[in-house]
Structure 1
Amino acid sequence: MENRTEIATLGEFGLIEHLTKNFEIQNASTIVSVGDDAAVIDHFGKQTVITTDLLLEGVHFDLMYTPLKHLGYKSIIVNLSDVYAMNAQPTHVTVSIGISNRFSVEALTELYEGIYAACEKYGVDLIGGDTSTSKKGMVISVTAIGEVAPDKFVKRSTARKGDLICVTGDLGGAFLGLTLMEREKRIFLENPNIQPNLEGEDYIVGRLLKPEARRDIIAFFEQNNIMPTAMMDISDGLSSEVLHLCKQSNLGCRLYEDKLPIHERSRAAAFKFGLDPTVCALNGGEDYELVFTLKQEDYDAITLNEEIAVVGYMTDVEEGKKMISRGGNLYDITAQGWNAFQG
């Protein structure tokens, strides 16, 4: 059996030191990092963007099928995605964890390997955090800090009538990955001798367990002098996010079903599970793609990027929020996506 080091043997400061000892500073803006009472950053005249997320075991993740390294990685990515959604560059994160004594130092080291991998890949510094005892499951709270040139940030409330609605990447994959994992978990709980069958489903499993944030799109905007009129990331499902953009910009919209970007592996998985790929793409959530609105005159500039699909346009608020189906029928868009407060 592998060695197990109890957290109590290190104490809180020892634990934080152990978990953060390998982090190297990657940003000139980091003046004081982990190991002091507070961090000090200087963004040299840029505006600061701050976002925070709470991940709770049993609500946002299931450790039965989520490796700790993947969980650490994803906990950083979901926050970086929110910074990119403001058209900003993430530079720093803080990570706080609540853990019970069922987790060993080795388990937490694995979690932090994932955190470290994400920070390294996205050029972000871990500058602080806290550890505490949790009586129930694991709790992870991450705050991400980013920088943006003055007045270059993009809000949700600034779309205009006639703007194109655009989506990055493809949608529905993470939800299908979750559906698969939950199905395999149920089978396993009924019969622990049955090995999980994930054959050929690595795409949707990857979309769930190891999402990426769209740094490439923000870089593309900058290189091509494109400024979205409104933007947010897709964490709760496209329909829910588009309704947020409509509500906050006081507009209506038209989405086209046949324009929704769905990966062929996601489409195949949806059919296998007896699900409608369109419903998965609209209501799935956790894809961490970007949805943004754009002036029509910028259309030519985004056709250069295969990762961007135009899926509709914004209308007057009186025209409602509708999807045009493949058959040409109009349907109301409803938010059936992830709701953090449902029972």
Structure 2
Amino acid sequence: MFDNIDKTNINELGEFGLISHLTKNIKLRNTSTLKGVGDDAAVLDAAGKKILVSTDMLLEGIHFDLAYTPLKHLGYKAIQVNLSDICAMNALPTQVTVSIGMSSKYTLEAIEELYEGMYLACNQYNVDIVGGDTTSSKQGLVISVTVIGYADEDTIVYRNTAEEGDLICVSGDLGGAYTGLQLLEREKLIYLENPNIQPDLEGKDYIIERQLKPEARKDIIELLKSVKVKPTAMIDVSDGLASEVLHICTQSNKGCQLYEEKIPIDPMTYDTAREFNLDPTVCALSGGEDYELLFTVKQADYDKIKHDVDISIIGYITEPSAGRNLISKSGQVHELKAQGWNAFKQQQ
């Protein structure tokens, strides 16, 4: 993958030369960024607002497979998954720091491709890269991104504030990222058995993009603000719908009724899941990496969101004693269980 013909060994630049090379074209967009890359620390202006901070780490072989993940897509995704955490607080991200560890197989051109994806994500979401670090790694590629956002205290939404009777809503559709991953893994195995066979991804662009190039739902935050709806609780769907609903219920000390027939699943996701003999609903409940927003709203706000095609109302919050249930399409009641991503279990 990393052919060294006409490639630049990173040792030729050194750490500081690499940082200078990668950051020389950064332009600051946010007035809250007083000082970005180039000093011992970035300087940010809170302007009387609350500061939100979140960090995610991506490890080669655990969170991504370079056999089918282009570096530009990986850079884009590394930023997006972090921006999603700030959106999940009903806030907008403004700055990120990026730290990478890389093994000797990575040339300057490879790292440039990675950063190209990061810069694309930041440009599209009006986010400044204000710092970070680079180092060598014996374990392959390591990416750590810290994201910063600002919000007025009374607009921030937490996981633990859902109330009985609130409607459970989700943006977009679910399960696409997981089915896209199954497709990529299948084609990888076929390629390993016979490198002469080209990947068969015809007509599957949507679910492949859901896996390789997710989008933080900043637009949903802006939409809710425009219709004057403040969610009562919110979280992003990174580990699967079931896991995220249970997080809200546990931290809010509430139960829930979730309706299978209301869970939004794209037709391509549905059909591809069936091709793999998977239950599309299970893909939505437990697949993860969709990075949609799951949130609760007061029933009084129903009329403000009911006509939005990108928001689905999938259930409601109950008292704790009612349990946390999934109502199947046939009307049967099942206990809602989380079976999503477990980073530590995957390594065993």
Counterparts of 1:225 and 1:200, CA distance in 2: 39
Does the alignment pair 1:50 with 2:53? yes
Residue matched to 1:202? 205
Does the alignment pair 1:215 with 2:213? no
Q: Which amino acid aligns with 1:184?
A: E
- Equivalent residue in structure 1 for 2:64, among 61, 65, 70: 61
User: For 1:190-221, what per-residue CA distance to the aligned partner results, in whole angstroms no more than 9, with x for missing partners?
Assistant: 11111111111111100000010101110011
Secondary structure in 2 matching 1:151: helix
> What is the TM-score normalised by the length of structure 2?
0.97
Residue matched to 2:88? 85
Secondary structure in 1 matching 2:62: coil
Counterparts of 1:76 and 1:190, CA distance in 2: 33
Q: Where does the alignment leave 5 or more consecutive residues of structure 2 unmatched? A: none
Counterparts of 1:44 and 1:305, CA distance in 2: 33
Deviation (angstroms), 1:304: 3.4
Counterparts of 1:23 and 1:266, CA distance in 2: 38
Counterparts of 1:219 and 1:304, CA distance in 2: 16
Q: Which amino acid aligns with 2:157?
A: V
Deviation (angstroms), 1:151: 2.0
Residue matched to 1:331? 334
- Runs of 4+ aligned structure 1 residues displaced above 4 Å come to none
Secondary structure in 2 matching 1:4: coil
Residue matched to 1:105? 108
Residue matched to 2:148? 145
Cα RMSD between the aligned structures? 0.8
Secondary structure in 1 matching 2:153: coil
Counterparts of 1:324 and 1:194, CA distance in 2: 43
Q: Which amino acid aligns with 1:25?
A: L
Counterparts of 1:291 and 1:329, CA distance in 2: 23
Counterparts of 1:304 and 1:147, CA distance in 2: 30
Q: Which amino acid aligns with 2:225?
A: E
Deviation (angstroms), 1:43: 2.2
Q: Which amino acid aligns with 2:158?
A: K
User: For 1:143-196, what per-residue CA distance to the aligned partner results, in whole angstroms no more than 9, with x for missing partners?
Assistant: 000011122110000000111100000000000000001111111111111111
- Equivalent residue in structure 2 for 1:175, among 173, 178, 185: 178
User: For 1:285-333, what per-residue CA distance to the aligned partner results, in whole angstroms no more than 9, with x for missing partners?
Assistant: 0000000011111011011321100000011111111100010000111
> What is the TM-score normalised by the length of structure 1?
0.99
User: For 1:57-101, what per-residue CA distance to the aligned partner results, in whole angstroms no more than 9, with x for missing partners?
Assistant: 111000110000000000000000000000111000000000011
Secondary structure in 2 matching 1:129: strand
Does the alignment pair 1:132 with 2:171? no
Q: Percent of pairs identical after alignment?
A: 61
- Equivalent residue in structure 2 for 1:306, among 281, 306, 309: 309
Counterparts of 1:29 and 1:246, CA distance in 2: 35
Secondary structure in 2 matching 1:196: coil
Residue matched to 1:255? 258
User: For 1:98-140, what per-residue CA distance to the aligned partner results, in whole angstroms no more than 9, with x for missing partners?
Assistant: 0011000000000000000000000000000000010111000
Q: Where does the alignment leave 5 or more consecutive residues of structure 1 unmatched? A: none
Q: How many residue pairs end up in the alignment?
A: 343
Does the alignment pair 1:187 with 2:190? yes
Does the alignment pair 1:6 with 2:4? no
Counterparts of 1:290 and 1:30, CA distance in 2: 27
Residue matched to 2:344? 341
Counterparts of 1:92 and 1:257, CA distance in 2: 38
Q: Which amino acid aligns with 2:263?
A: L
Q: Which amino acid aligns with 2:208?
A: V
Counterparts of 1:221 and 1:149, CA distance in 2: 15
Does the alignment pair 1:287 with 2:283? no
Secondary structure in 1 matching 2:326: strand
User: For 1:24-43, what per-residue CA distance to the aligned partner results, in whole angstroms no more than 9, with x for missing partners?
Assistant: 11101111110111000102
Deviation (angstroms), 1:341: 1.2
Name whichever of 312-321 and 100-109 sits farther off: 312-321
The correspondence of residues 21-36 of structure 1 with structure 2, limited to 5 A, is: 21-36=24-39
Counterparts of 1:340 and 1:249, CA distance in 2: 25
